[in-house]
Amino acid sequence: MKYIEVKITTTTEASDAVYNMLTDEGAAGVVIEDPNDLKAQNGDETRWDYIEEELIAKLGDDVQVKGYFSELDYDQGILERIKERVSQLDACGLDKGKGIVMASEVDDEDWANAWKQYYKPTKVGEKVVIKPTWEPYTPEAGEVVIELDPGMAFGTGTHETTSMCIRLIEKYLKPGSSVFDVGCGSGILGISAAKLGAGRTVCVDIDTVSCKVSRENTQLNQVDDKIDIRCGNLLDVVSEKADLIVANIIADVIISFTDDVGGFMKEASVFISSGIIKDRRDEVIKKLQETGFGILEVLEQGEWCAVAAGRK
């Protein structure tokens, strides 16, 4: 089968928003190619193969976000809507960079497997190692290995926002705790919580494909008996309360979500939020404080930050 590749040239800051645009339009898969990830991690053998400095210099700073549409589902209207939405990113407070949108035809084999050569076992926290299913890995003492086959619609789990969430989960999760993972994507945070000792985890995502992939990944990691996958908007499908809630989304959603999240938290519980561009850091912290949270910790990595907050 032929696929149409819609490629957007943008920035790290706007890459997640562009990702969401493509999934909204029905992309069967999305890949984010961010050279800044490679630059930041170059030389760290636990995360990436070493890359020659000359090649690093040639990568530039542009981020390529590529969405793939079946030729049966694609029409020119999709391309025009994406162009329009990309043009509006600056007005939404996100630097779109070059904002170039292009479409081309590719074979499914070209995009389904080429990226796998760059995806290696990666230690993203003190304990958690994310390992692609096709790569061998022998864990060291105390390591928790998450098997992940992200497929074509999800990231590898090594994005800064994900790794910061995992580090905070490692720190604030208590054995037997109940956990909500809001906007679960591939389920990586919920799976991490389960393998780190959570008693019960609820993973929620509004996207049915995310819910399907999350279920597959919980089974792959043999924690499906500990994780409940629910399809819905934020916590609309949840009535319980949790000891720890983690939301790796975007700043605007976190700010609006903060008004309600306290009602789903037990005493002495922790709310971990990420997907926050550094420029929005203070805005998110202010909202958390206004709604009765005390800031426990703020992490920063690359262009992103994550906040751990507790109920006062």
Q: Hunting for tokens 């149409």 — which residue is that? A: 4
72 and 96 fall within a common domain: yes
Same domain flag for 130 and 256: yes
Among the candidates 85, 114, 143, a domain finishes at 114
Are 97 and 188 part of one and the same domain?
no
Clarify whether residues 220 and 275 are in a common domain.
yes
Return the number of other C-beta atoms located less than 10 Å from residue 44's C-beta. Answer: 11
Q: How far is CA 92 from CA 66, 69, 85, 121, 225, in A?
A: 21, 26, 10, 36, 41
The more confident residue out of 114 and 92 is 92
Q: Are residues 130 and 257 in the same domain?
A: yes
Say yes or no: 140 and 231 in one domain. yes
pLDDT of residue 51: 41
Is residue 53 pLDDT above 80, yes or no?
Answer: no
| Residue 165: closest CA among 133, 134, 138, 203 | 203
Residue scoring higher pLDDT (116 or 263):
263
Q: How many residues does the chain have?
A: 312
First to last CA, the chain: 55
Once rounded to an integer, what is the mean pLDDT over residues 226-233?
A: 93
What are the pLDDT digits (tens) for 61-109?
Answer: 789 998 888 888 899 999 999 999 999 999 988 999 999 999 998 876 6
Domain final residue pick, 60, 88, 114: 114
Domain co-membership, 124 together with 90:
no
* 179-181-186-188 Cα dihedral, nearest 10 degrees: -50
Do 265 and 228 belong together in one domain?
yes
More confident site: 110 or 200: 200
Q: What is the mean pLDDT of the chain?
A: 85
- Provide the domain count of the chain: 2
What is the domain-level CATH number for residue 94? Answer: 3.30.70.260
Please give the Cα distance from 242 to 240 (Å, whole number): 7
pLDDT in tens, 245-280: 999 988 888 999 899 999 999 988 999 999 898 889
The proportion of the chain whose per-residue pLDDT surpasses 70, expressed as a percent, equals 85
The verdict on 131 and 256 lying in the same domain is yes
pLDDT at 227 over 50: yes
The pLDDT score that the predictor gives to residue 120 is: 79
Residue 149: which CATH number? 3.40.50.150
Whether 214 and 131 share a structural domain: yes
Note whether 124 and 108 are same-domain residues: no
- Report residue 96: phi and psi, to 5°: -80, -10
128 and 189 inside one domain:
yes
Question: Which of 114, 147, 179 corresponds to the end of one domain?
Answer: 114
| Mean pLDDT to the nearest integer, 143-151 | 81
| pLDDT(208) > 90 | no
Residue 304 identity (one-letter amino acid): W
Query: Do 92 and 14 contact (CB within 8 A), yes or no?
Result: no
Domain extent, residue 77, equals: 2-114
